């Protein structure tokens, strides 16, 4: 018997393989309901607060519409419009919001903000992107791969580019599901060492494999999935020029894709920069599933909210 009620989603390492599989199956079922016009509104009278310290298109719109479709209500709380932007302690905000809401999603820079919010809140806290992790995105990514490939275990996923929040969460999520995750980043831009270590420990238990290499061809070789993300994440914009130089040979393009399996899937969390981390031919080509992936944010997060806040 799996129990999700009242839990937080800070990073996928808090969840077992079986629990992640349940969330993916539930996302697929919730998607099927919606496509068949089945009304599913278990959240009548429930409210989630969405705190944003950074920009968002997908996360905001998918959480807001997802909550509405479930019969509940979502509040968009931009950091500068709430007292957090004027220095109200996170611990106070957490306790106050817990008196009004049934759940909180937060997108913030410091991962500690998510941890602190969860510590002081008595309602579920969902990480909608921190500098360390993006678990909601990876749930949607795993759902997308599962839908297209029919399985996750044993597949090879190559992440080419910045060892950022996406790389971290893909390492953990992929390892949990028994995938071979190969990350290729230039010197100095590798994923967090602690996360690599953790994903290796998880991999030992699930039969997954973790590779970190500076050679993108090695990572992409025979890959079932090629994933990339921007070279300069939110908060790193001023490093754009120096990053363009460092990542120049890490573009996902037709040349690199040649070494992957012919039926590889191309994934990108979006927003993307065509001509930088990915060529137009790849992101707009036949192997790209970026819009299925973006759509699945909606279904995966509905499943997550139902599980945690139900
Ligand atoms: N992928 C993602 O989280 O997109 P947004 O920044 O638009 O929310
Ligand atoms: N790595 C990107 C992901 C955006 C969804 C960032 O943090 O800006």
- Residue 157 scores a pLDDT above 90: yes
**99 belongs to the catalytic site:** no
Average pLDDT of every residue of the chain: 98
Element (H, E) at 123: none
- Looking at residue 97, its pLDDT comes to 98
Mean pLDDT score, 133-156: 98
Q: Give the residue, out of 105, 129, 140, 232, with the most ligand 2 atoms within 8 A of its beta carbon, to mutate for a pocket test.
A: 129
* Beta carbons within 10 angstroms of residue 137's beta carbon: 28
- Residue 154 scores a pLDDT above 90: yes
- Looking at residue 184, its pLDDT comes to 99
Cis ω before 146 (30° cut-off from 0): no
- Looking at residue 195, its pLDDT comes to 98
Give residue 207 CA to ligand 1 midpoint distance, Å.
31
Reported as a single tens digit per residue, the pLDDT across 175-190 is: 999 999 999 999 999 9
**134 belongs to the catalytic site:** yes
* Atom in ligand 1 nearest the alpha carbon of residue 129: 3
Calpha distance 256→250 (Å, rounded): 9
Reported as a single tens digit per residue, the pLDDT across 16-71 is: 999 999 999 999 999 999 999 999 999 999 999 999 999 999 999 999 999 999 99
Segment 187-191 long-range contacts (CB within 8 Å, at least 24 positions apart): 187/214, 188/246, 189/162, 189/163, 189/243, 189/246, 189/247, 190/163, 191/163, 191/164, 191/167
CA 307 from chain centre, in angstroms, equals: 17
Mean pLDDT score, 151-176: 98
Mean pLDDT score, 83-95: 95
* Beta carbons within 10 angstroms of residue 60's beta carbon: 18
Domains and CATH numbers, the chain: 12-133+297-309 (3.40.50.1370), 135-293 (3.40.50.1370)
| Any atom of ligand 2 within 6 Å of the Cβ of 272 | no
* ipTM of the shown complex: 0.99
Q: Label residue 10 by pLDDT band (50, 70, 90).
A: very high
- Looking at residue 1, its pLDDT comes to 86
Q: Is 240 flagged in the annotation as binding?
A: no
């Amino acid at each position: 018997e799996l129990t999700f009620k009242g839990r937080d989603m800070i990073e996928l390492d808090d969840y077992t393989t079986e629990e992640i599989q349940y969330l993916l199956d539930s996302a697929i079922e919730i998607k099927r309901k919606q496509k068949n016009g089945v009304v599913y509104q278990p959240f009548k009278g429930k409210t989630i607060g969405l705190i944003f310290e950074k920009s968002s298109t997908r996360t905001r719109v998918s959480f807001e519409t997802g909550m509405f479709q479930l019969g509940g209500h979502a509040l968009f709380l931009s950091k500068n419009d709430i007292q957090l932007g004027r220095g109200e302690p996170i611990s106070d905000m957490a306790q106050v919001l817990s008196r009004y809401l049934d759940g909180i999603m937060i997108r913030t820079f410091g991962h500690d903000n998510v941890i602190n919010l969860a510590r002081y809140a008595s309602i579920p806290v969902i990480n909608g992107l921190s500098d360390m992790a993006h678990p909601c995105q990876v749930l949607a990514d795993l759902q997308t791969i599962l839908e297209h490939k029919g399985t996750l275990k044993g597949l090879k996923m190559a992440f080419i580019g910045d060892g950022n929040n996406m790389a971290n969460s893909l390492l953990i999520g992929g390892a949990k599901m028994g995938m071979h995750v190969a990350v290729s980043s230039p010197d100095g831009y590798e994923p967090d060492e602690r996360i690599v270590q953790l994903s290796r420990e998880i991999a030992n238990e699930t039969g997954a494999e973790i590779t970190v290499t500076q050679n993108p061809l090695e990572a992409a070789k025979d890959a079932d999935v090629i994933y990339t993300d921007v070279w300069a994440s939110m908060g790193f914009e001023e490093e754009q020029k120096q990053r363009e130089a460092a990542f120049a040979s890490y573009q996902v393009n037709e040349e690199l894709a040649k070494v992957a399996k012919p039926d590889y899937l191309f994934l990108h969390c979006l927003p993307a920069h065509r001509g930088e981390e990915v060529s137009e031919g790849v992101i707009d080509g036949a192997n790209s599933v970026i819009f299925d992936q973006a759509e699945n944010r909606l279904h995966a997060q509905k499943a997550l909210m139902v599980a945690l806040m139900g």
